[in-house]
Structure formats: structure tokens, C-alpha cells
Amino acid sequence: MELDIQNVSKKYNRNTYGLKDFSIHIEKGILGLLGANGAGKSTLLKMIATVSKPTSGIITLNKNNILKDANYMRSQLGFLPQDFGVYPNLNAHEFLEYMAAMKGIGGKNLNIKITQLLEGLNLTEAAKKPIGTYSGGMKQRVGIAQALLNNPKIILFDEPTVGLDPEERVRFRNLISDLANDCIVILSSHIVSDIDTIADKVAILKNGSLVSYGNQKEIIEKVTNKVFETLIENTQLNNFKKEHIIVSTSKKEGKLKVRYIANHPIENSIKKTATLEDAYLFLNKIT
């Protein structure tokens, strides 16, 4: 499996780009897409999912141009959009039946598969109740189930952990890791912790452009020896912000413990091990 995105742009009007000259080559495994809101993650995923067409550029899956043959992608795609709806009058089982029909799958075993998915995602009890009565997390799990209905070879998850409780998040991460054994999984989020534990590769987007792409180690190396921690007075914070990239703050002994990124640390700072979050914040600020 290989997905190739070459010089793809999405132009909304003369000066506004959703994505600008974006190129990336993706193979089997998990790709984490990191970026702030509006960075272009959803735009990219929608184009890969063939819901939206790029203004320019080419997207190929296994050398097949999906802009010309969208159904080649659709027949092996599992897609969980960031903001999706459901027909509230259908129950989860019916909704999954409907989604299966849309994807062009069926047969005698469909009901068994739907039952397996509902069981695996802890929705069995609610399966016969209208989805309109589900909580956000339950709807999100229905969304995950529909993405897996057709044995997808390429799976796109756009902000998939929204609405999931901490336990569900852990189970979901495990599930993604399992999925990545024989397909491409692209997972977008603006929460670094959703990605850093599972992604094989990470792409950081900013204002529609690719800022950095590589495995986590390569990206983290960009801030190695630049992450420090120190204690400052509350009153110093505003000035400190102007001169450094602050990763996090917390209170300690009446002062503020600040984790920051700098080429030259201030006095009494302790060097810390860099993380993907440090690198993400650093790349977002400096590029």
C-alpha cells in the first residue's frame, strides 16, 4: 500500500489556501497529522477521502490516480470525519447496515460483522436504540465502527478521540495500533498525546503547509538540547513569554515552574528531555 500526494493545493479564493503545495509519500503504518485548528488537516483528509477535490496536484493510491478514479479509493477506504452526523431515527445496527450498503458491502455475514463491531466497541446494549439518544462518546464509537465495516486498507481518522473518555482513548489507541499492521492509518489531531504513543511517522502542518515530516525521533531532534525548566515569579511571566517559547507552566512553592524552549537557557534552568509536544510547539512558533 502506498499513498502519494504530490503538490496538492486547495484554494478557496484568490489569497486563501486550505492547503498549499503539499507533498507527502505514505506507506503502511500510522501517520500522525499534527496541527492547530485551521492548519489544513481536515482539508487534506477530505481530499484523500475523495469528498473534496484539490485545486491542483495529484493524489495516487498504489499508482492509481484517485482524482480520476475516486471509486478505487472509496472501495478500500474507512473514513471517520471530524464532525459527522447520524440519522437520529435509526439505531446503531440499522445505521451500520446503511453505511455498509453505501460502501457496497453486504452478504449473509454482514449482520455478524456488525454485531462483532458493536460488541468490540461496547455498543451492544444500545444497539437497538435510536442513535439520537446516544452520548457523544457512543456516537463517536458508532463512527469508528462504520469506518471498519469494509475491511479498509486505508483508514482516515480526523480528530477521532473527541468525546471519548480516558479509558476509551486507550482502547482506541490499541485498536489503531492493531489496524496499522496491514494498512495505512492517518490520524489527525491537535492533541500531541493522541499521536506520540502510536504514530510511526508524524507530519506537522501549519497554515496549509507541511512544516515537518518524519519519524518521531527525527522531529524531536529539532529541539534536542533546547528544552529547559525553571522557576520564575508570577509577575515575570509576561516578559518571559515575549522572549521564550513556553511549553507549559505549573505552580510550585509559590512560584511558576516553566518549561520552555530556547537556544540559550536563562540562569538556574535545568535541561529536560525533549518530547514531540516540545517539537510541535517549537516548529509551530518558528516557521
Q: Strand, helix or coil at 44?
A: helix
User: Which range binds another protein by CB under 8 A, 8-16, 126-134, 215-223, 265-273?
Assistant: 126-134
**Distance between the two ends of the chain, CA-based, in angstroms?**
32
Residue 124 binds another protein, judged by CB under 8 A? yes
Residue 88 binds another protein, judged by CB under 8 A? yes
CB 269 within 8 A of CB 230: yes
Q: State which of residues 30, 99, 198, 210 lies at the interface with another protein (CB under 8 A).
A: 99
Q: Strand, helix or coil at 62?
A: coil
Q: Strand, helix or coil at 183?
A: coil
Least Cβ distance, residue 253 to another protein (angstroms): 39
What is d(CA 129, CA 136) in angstroms, rounded to the nearest whole number?
15
Q: State which of residues 150, 189, 212, 284 lies at the interface with another protein (CB under 8 A).
A: 150
User: Which range binds another protein by CB under 8 A, 7-15, 86-94, 205-213, 221-229?
Assistant: 86-94
Least Cβ distance, residue 50 to another protein (angstroms): 6
Pair type for strands 29-35 and 201-206: parallel
Q: State which of residues 2, 7, 64, 112 lies at the interface with another protein (CB under 8 A).
A: 112
How many residues touch another protein under the rule CB under 8 A: the total is 62
User: Which range binds another protein by CB under 8 A, 2-10, 77-85, 187-195, 206-214?
Assistant: 77-85
- DSSP letter at 163? T
Residue 85 binds another protein, judged by CB under 8 A? yes
Helix 136-147 to helix 110-120 angle, to the nearest 10 degrees?
140
- Please name the residues in contact with 279: beta carbons below 8 A apart, sequence gap of 6 or more: 204, 212, 219, 220, 222, 223
Least Cβ distance, residue 241 to another protein (angstroms): 31
Residue 2 binds another protein, judged by CB under 8 A? no
To 10 degrees, the CA torsion angle through 154, 44, 280, 241?
A: -150
Nearer to another protein, 83 or 267 (CB): 83
Least Cβ distance, residue 169 to another protein (angstroms): 13
- Please name the residues in contact with 32: beta carbons below 8 A apart, sequence gap of 6 or more: 187, 188, 189, 194, 195, 196, 198, 199, 201, 202, 203
Q: Please give the residue ranges that form the binding site for another protein (CB under 8 A).
A: 46, 49-53, 71, 74-75, 77, 79, 81, 83-90, 94, 97-107, 109-110, 112-113, 116-117, 119-122, 124-126, 129, 132-135, 138, 146, 148-151, 167, 171, 174-175, 178-179
